[in-house]
Structure 1
Amino acid sequence: MSARRTASRPLFRRTSAVVATAAIAALVLSACTGGGEQPEPDAGQGFPDDGCTHITVATSSEKVNMLDELAAAFKESPEHDGLETCATVRPTNVSSGNAARYLTSGDDWPSDDRALWPTLWSPASTVWTERVAAAASPTLVGEPASFTRTPVVFGMPEPMAKALGWPDKPISITDLEGLCQNPEGWGSVGKDIWGAFKISKTNPNTSTTGLSTILMQSYEASGKAEGLTAADVDAAADFSRVFEECVIHYGDTTGNVLSTLYDETQNGANGSAYVSAVALEETSLLNYNKGNPDSHTVQPGETLTPPKTKLVAVYPAGGSMWSDNPITVLGADWVSAEQRTAGEAFAAFLQTTPAQEILPEYGFRPLDEAVPLGDLFTANFGVDPAQPTVTLPKPEVDVISTAIDQWTQVRKPSSVLELIDISGSMDEPIGDGRSRLDGAIEGAQTTLDHFRSTDEVGVWAFTTGVSSDQGEGLQVLRDVSALGADGEKLDSSLDDLRYAQRNGTPLYDAILTAYEAMGERAEPGRINAIVVLSDGEDTDSTTSLDSLIAKIGTQSGEGGTDAPVRIFPIAYGEGADTSALQRIADATGGQMFDASDAERIDLVFASVINNF
């Protein structure tokens, strides 16, 4: 594993309305909905006791560093000098989709620290502000104004892009779809050893990149560069369905996928067994090539190590959508008059030349075309400042809603086995009136609505002293099979876990048995995955960790397999063996999720399920 900073863990006030909304990942309303990246008002971004008006900006992770510097520059600006009282601005990390969902839910902002409730909101795109305005109230989102932008591109390892003719030959989304559809995969361009062509995309319910990508697919299928309609989106369903077939899994953030790719390249692999192309914003690609794959907040003194194989930006020949990054003062009732005035001053400052000159340092393009882009926007970092040559305009709100609804139907089907630790330590309380087991059960139950009837879902539990047809230490609540109309029945079966006997923790044995079972039934046309929830270390397995890694890591060679089974562990509570769970995730190209703050298990479970 590479040494990367893990973002500080956020604190959340758990309310039933917020938890229910965050967990139902597939629900699509006129507002932005759905589960997604772990909601993260960042508790690490506190305020000093300086006597100033305190202003929080809710923003996505890739803008946190930049907004920190912009906040410092604001203190020295004429816009700040014009205030009666000094103002201190701090960004807090919340995904665009999650922030939109909170604002449309009608509840308070879900953070323990009221100082972190936002005065300003800066999502990645005005798509989100328009959806909140349509679903809740235009006054809630105020008057958004863009202050920077970044195009949506496909990031590819440089050798793979060159195999497709980059940079001399334009590459279209249709070209990528053709590679998805071709049974020879990379073999169709003379690179048999690379295996199947694999794409990573994020969930459009919470991710601007994911949303932009499905709209770009519809533009491509329609042959249009403007005026996309709901009818065009409907007509693009078959095209998009093919494109979705080569998705490895739907990440909640591009940062998670890029982190896995980065680790593989740093450890000697070229990443071809994991992913061939990543739909992402240009600024995220620049961060990756600087050595910051998850776009985390870089700490003073931190050294970034560039990847051994850089990503290059493929700007689709048919055009790119742009993330236009607005900022707006919220019309929420928790925003005071003083905060509103200070927020408006900060928003005005972002349009000034001194502020615009800061943007390129962080991989964002300024709106002021007189501001030079600088050395970062060069081929050395995988980008072309002259691209994209075609800009795809943002469609109307109803067209966007149609695209999200369609994605729910055409996304790649999944086959998921949930493997839940029911050892004795799961009886421990988590501080909100529930036991760890209560939290695990409710987390699993509230994500059931994410799955379609055609998705395959199974649930096993593990501890010592139990047995089933699958072996010792395993209890089968549901074999992996199409969910159909069994959601309510599975919900009831999960409740039965409250009364199960709870003993030791045969973690490695349970994972190996689950992996072998899923490997036998894995299909190339599905996302095949195991979600492992454990709150402790292995205590009772006959299989060692090294033996487990050796057996489950056989897919990770050059080219991989057509039907990989990826493992997504949830490290539940402070006693979970995060080191072992991370190794297990890495061995299969999965991701580990941190629920060391056990009260957040509902939200973390939703974040994991958002991958499928």
Structure 2
Amino acid sequence: MDARSARHRSTAHRGIAAVALAAASGLALAACTGGGDSGTTADGGQGFPDDGCTHVTIATSSEKVNMLDALAEAFKESPEHEGLDTCATVRPINVSSGNAARYLTSGEDWPTSDESLWPTLWSPASTVWTDRVAAAASANLVGEPASFTRTPVVFGMPQPMAEALGWPDVQPSITDFAELCQNPDGWGSVGKDVWGSFKISKTNPNTSTTGLSAILMQSYEAAGKTEGLTTADVDAAAEFSRVFEECVIHYGDTTGNVLSTLYDETQNGASGSGYVSAVALEETSLLNYNQGNPDSHTVQPGETLTPPKTKLVAIYPAGGSMWSDNPVTVLGADWVTDEQRVAGEAFAAFLQTPAAQAVLPDYGFRPLDESVPLGDLFTAEYGVDPALPAVTLPKPEVGVISTAIDQWTQVRKPSSVMELIDISASMDEEIGDGRSRLDGAIEGAQSTLDHFRSTDEIGVWAFTTGVSSEAGENLTVIRDVTALGSDRESLDSSLDDLRYAQRSGTPLYDSILAAYEEMTARAEPGRINAIVVLSDGEDTDSATSLDSLIARIGEDATEGGDETLVRIFPIAYSEAADQTALQRIADATGGQLFDASDAERIDLVFASVINNF
């Protein structure tokens, strides 16, 4: 029996392991609709072709999938491949760096039932993640990581906004951003009153390299250092980072989701300023955006990309930038066979060759080989300056990074969230793993409670026909939106009680409108205000039409934005859900739709939702 067969587990076991991991770490695969971790191959298919070759999966962050797919094809023609005893087929799968790190440190199998997708190679965005796995689990597990390309972390700004701050002659600093955020006049302080307040988008540092780099850059800025960042420096930077986080509109697990929303707004005639002023992202993601690929998805043959009407330009902060150094390593996991290890080592060696390095600039990555020309992408036309950043901020020690992540949990922007749960009869339908849709919704809601701080506000409403409460007809108030405090255990029990609640029709649109009006009335500018809708998405009993709902909830998303905007994040629990309607609801408020129709991914998707708060 080979190593792969010896580690065979039942589908149910892997599902339980993945759920336990998500609950323990607060991590998840991103929603299919958001272009996040999907476990799919670069061409959207599952598994490998029946080609008689050794099959090698490389787990990688989303922005490298296109590039690694091209490199995998080039590898077939390389001397490194010729030196193998048997042919090898390499395929990338999209797994965020932070998620992959936690899967590897969990001690469990890779959380997918398709063993062909269990990775031989891992290429996170930064050696930060390989260092963390080595420290938390085993150095042998991550092998010997070697960087093969790099990209700096920058702030992308719509070009007119950057010009208002003096770009391209001036590269604003993180302190400049913080001061603009704090200024009660917002953009009005530089003569642009119509743009409203200054808004930043960042990703969650628990899952995203960009989010992690951003908080480290904040600590460097507060300390006035360009090297030698210490734990004491991070501790001393807490207040500075707390103020900076006040600019954040909401967090996310990928920059692609934010960039997609910004792109849609600009293409529909808006400037995008009402949504966000600056996005912390990697330079390569900005290059993808300006080519018309905001979520860095795998571009299919014959697909035409449409550049945005307003491009983003890269701000390389005056105080310095960190770099994503993109290592690749052969994993020391016991599911990796000898044949896969040898093939993986050959592919990793190929990535260091001039032939492979020459491919990188075409995909917006800077080669390590400085003799390789950067080409036409790395120009002002696409919003970047290859001569910058002027200052490189080195990666701190593992302990310093851990301190920064722990600090962010305390200083991140507070949230006020209502969870709106569909308890109609249709939610009794099974989702394929012995649970009903309602079971998945309840368990997903329960899994979020440890994520919220005691000072965060959380409320729960449930809806179906034939019930009433102080919230109105067809609504049941499980918990008012108030500070969570010490109520985790009692709220957990109240959510369990929903399994026995009366179930009838689905007044989805009426309920969303009532929840939106409630949250809008109490929304505060200092919080992330949001509604999470857990439903199978099939409205049957609303007096409010979809168009009327969209008109109402879209009123606040005006030019310049509203500091108390309530964003809606629907989670669709059924393949039969009207995802077009749910997408329109999310888009109207700058939220995001999540697809939980796959039973194996419901718990993981829900954890991805809460990365926004």
2:397 aligned with 1:399, yes or no?
no
Q: Secondary structure at the match of 1:138?
A: coil
Number of the residue aligned with 2:30: 37
Matched with 1:91 is 92
Corresponding residue number in structure 2 for 1:578: 579
Partner residue in 2 for 1:330 = 331
What SS does the aligned partner of 2:421 have? Answer: strand
Query: Could you say which residue in structure 2 is the equivalent of 1:19?
Result: 19
**Any residues of structure 2 matched to 1:458-477 within 5 Å, and which?**
458-477=459-478
TM-score between the two structures when normalised by the length of structure 1: 0.96
Is 1:506 matched with 2:507? yes
The answer on whether the counterparts of 2:531 and 2:568 sit within 8 Å (CA) in structure 1 is yes
C-alpha displacement of 1:67? 0.5
Does structure 2 conserve the Cα–Cα contact (< 8 Å) formed by 1:20 and 1:446? Answer: no
- Cα deviation code 1:543-581 (max 9, x no counterpart): 111111111111111111121111111111112111111
Structure 2 counterpart of 1:345: 346
Partner of 1:4: none
Q: Is the contact between residue 228 and residue 396 of structure 2 (CA under 8 Å) also seen in structure 1? A: yes
SS in structure 1 of the partner of residue 403 of structure 2: helix
Question: Which residue of structure 2 aligns with residue 355 of structure 1?
Answer: 356
Cα gap change, 1:12 to 1:69, in 2 (>3 Å): farther
* Alpha carbons 1:62, 1:295 under 8 Å: kept: yes
**Structure 1: 5+ residue stretches without partners:** 1-10, 27-33
Q: Does 1:102 align with 2:100?
A: no
Give the secondary-structure state (helix, strand or coil) at the position aligned to 2:555: helix
Q: Quick check: 1:23–1:35 contact (8 Å CA) kept in 2? A: no
SS, match of residue 512 in structure 2: helix
- CA distance in 2 between counterparts of 1:598 and 1:560 reads 37
Q: Secondary structure at 2:534's aligned position in 1?
A: strand
1:428-457 deviation line (CA, Å, top 9, x unaligned): 111111111111111111111000000000
> Structure 1 stretch 337-346 or stretch 42-51: which is displaced more?
42-51
Q: Is the 8 A contact 2:149 2:326 kept in 1?
A: yes
Pairs within 5 Å for 1:440-451: 440-451=441-452
Aligned residue type for 2:54: T
- Return the offset for 1:81: 0.6
Deviations 1:357-381 (A, max 9, x none): 0000000000000000000000111
Asked if 1:244 is matched to 2:245, the reply is yes
Structure 1 CA distance, aligned partners of 2:602 and 2:114? 19
3-state SS in 2 of match to 1:89: strand
Could you give the per-residue CA deviations for residues 202-237 of structure 1, whole angstroms, max 9, x where no partner exists? 000000000000000000000000000000000000
Q: In the alignment, which residue of structure 2 is the partner of 1:8? A: none
CA contact (8 A) 1:25 1:610 kept: no
Residue 588 of structure 1: CA displacement? 0.8
Partner of 2:548: 547
Question: Is the 1:36–1:203 contact (alpha carbons within 8 Å) kept by the matching residues of 2?
Answer: no
Cross-structure match for 1:31: none
Counterpart residue number, 2:211: 210
CA distance 1:533–1:518, shift in 2 (3 Å): same
1:101 aligned counterpart, secondary structure: helix
For 1:252, the aligned partner's letter is D
Gaps of 5+ in 2: 1-10, 32-36
Instruction: Give the structure 2 partner of residue 29 of structure 1.
Output: none
Shift of 1:17: 3.1
Give the AA of the match of 1:37: A
Alignment-derived partner of residue 366 in structure 2: 365
Residue 90 of structure 1 aligns to a residue in which SS? Answer: strand
> What whole-Å deviation, never above 9, does each CA across 1:107-130 have from its counterpart, x for those lacking one?
011111111110000000000000
Task: Provide the rounded CA distance (Å) in 1 between the counterparts of 2:189 and 2:272.
Answer: 19
Written as runs of structure 1 = structure 2, the 5 A alignment for 1:289-328 is: 289-328=290-329
Q: Counterpart of 1:51 in 2: which secondary structure?
A: coil
Structure 2 matches for 1:374-389, cutoff 5 A? 374-389=375-390
Alpha-carbon distance, 1:508 to partner: 0.6
1:493-523 deviation per Cα after TM superposition (whole angstroms, max 9, x unaligned): 0000000111111001000000000011000
Give the whole-Å Cα distance in 2 for the aligned partners of 1:439 and 1:454.
26
Q: Is residue 283–residue 363 contact of structure 1 (8 Å, CA) maintained in 2?
A: yes
1:76 is paired with a residue whose SS is: coil
Structure 1 outlier segments of 4+, above 4 Å: 11-14
The answer to whether the 8 Å contact 1:186/1:195 transfers is yes
Task: Name the amino acid aligned to 1:451.
Answer: F
Q: 1:451 to 1:206 in 2, by over 3 A?
A: same
8 Å contact 2:17–2:111 — kept in the other structure? no
- Distance, in Å, in 2 between the alignment partners of 1:85 and 1:271 is 52
Q: Distance in 1 between matches of 2:73 and 2:396?
A: 36
> Retained in 1: the 8 A contact 2:537–2:582?
no
In structure 2, the partner of 1:30 is none
Please state how far the C-alpha of 1:53 moved relative to its aligned partner. Answer: 0.6
- Give the match for residue 5 of structure 2: none
- Report the Cα distance in structure 2 between the residues aligned to 1:178 and 1:21, rounded to whole angstroms: 39
**Which aligned pairs between 1:529-568 and structure 2 lie closer than 5 A?**
529-568=530-569
**CA distances 1:179-224 after superposition (whole Å, capped 9, x unpaired):** 1111111111111110010000000000000000000000000000
Distance 1:246 1:162, change over 3 A: same
Paired amino acid for 1:606? A
CA shift at 1:146, angstroms?
A: 0.1
Equivalent-residue separation in structure 2 for 1:162 and 1:584 (angstroms): 33
Q: Identical aligned pairs, as a percentage?
A: 82
State the 1:594 CA deviation: 1.3
- For 2:376 and 2:12, the matched residues in 1 are separated by 40
Counterpart of 2:39, as a letter, is: P
Q: Distance in 1 between matches of 2:233 and 2:99?
A: 28
Matched, 1:482 2:483: yes
How far residue 79 of structure 1 moved from its aligned partner, in angstroms, is: 0.5
Residue in 2 that maps onto 1:70: 71
Q: CA deviation at 1:46?
A: 2.6
Distance 2:155 2:457 in 1: 30
Q: What's 2:3 paired with? A: none
Q: Which residue of 2 aligns with 1:277?
A: 278
> How far off its partner does 1:13 sit?
7.3
Structure 1 residue 489 displacement after superposition: 0.5
Cα drift, residue 14 of structure 1? 4.5
For residues 243 and 517 of structure 1, the distance between their equivalents in structure 2, rounded to whole angstroms, comes to 28
| C-alpha distance in 1 between matches for 2:172 and 2:66 | 32
Report the equivalent of 2:229.
228
Residue matched to 1:259 = 260
Distance 2:383 2:412 in 1: 29
1:436 aligns with 2:434: no
Q: CA deviation at 1:145?
A: 0.1
Question: Contact (CA 8 Å) 2:140, 2:332: kept in 1 or not?
Answer: yes
Q: CA RMSD in A?
A: 1.2
| 295-304 vs 366-375, greater mean Cα deviation | 295-304
Secondary structure of the 1:439 match is helix
In the superposition, the TM-score normalised over structure 2's length comes to 0.96
The amino acid of 2:609's aligned partner reads V
- Quick one: which amino acid aligns to residue 16 of structure 2? S
User: C-alpha displacement at 1:24, in angstroms?
Assistant: 4.7
User: For 1:446-457, what aligned pairs fall within 5 Å after superposition?
Assistant: 446-457=447-458
Contact 1:430 1:599 in 2 (8 A): no
Query: More deviation in 484-493 or 35-44?
Result: 35-44
CA contact (8 A) 2:568 2:590 kept: yes
Moved more, 44-53 or 579-588: 44-53
* Contact 1:13–1:111 (CA under 8 A) maintained in structure 2: no
In 1, the alpha carbon distance for the partners of 2:377 and 2:294 equals 16
Structure 1 residues 17 and 49: CA distance shift in structure 2, 3 A: closer
Q: Is the 1:23–1:605 Cα contact (8 Å) retained in structure 2?
A: no
In 1, Cα distance between equivalents of 2:479 and 2:533: 15
TM-fit CA distance, 1:75: 0.6
Query: Cα offset for 1:36?
Result: 6.4
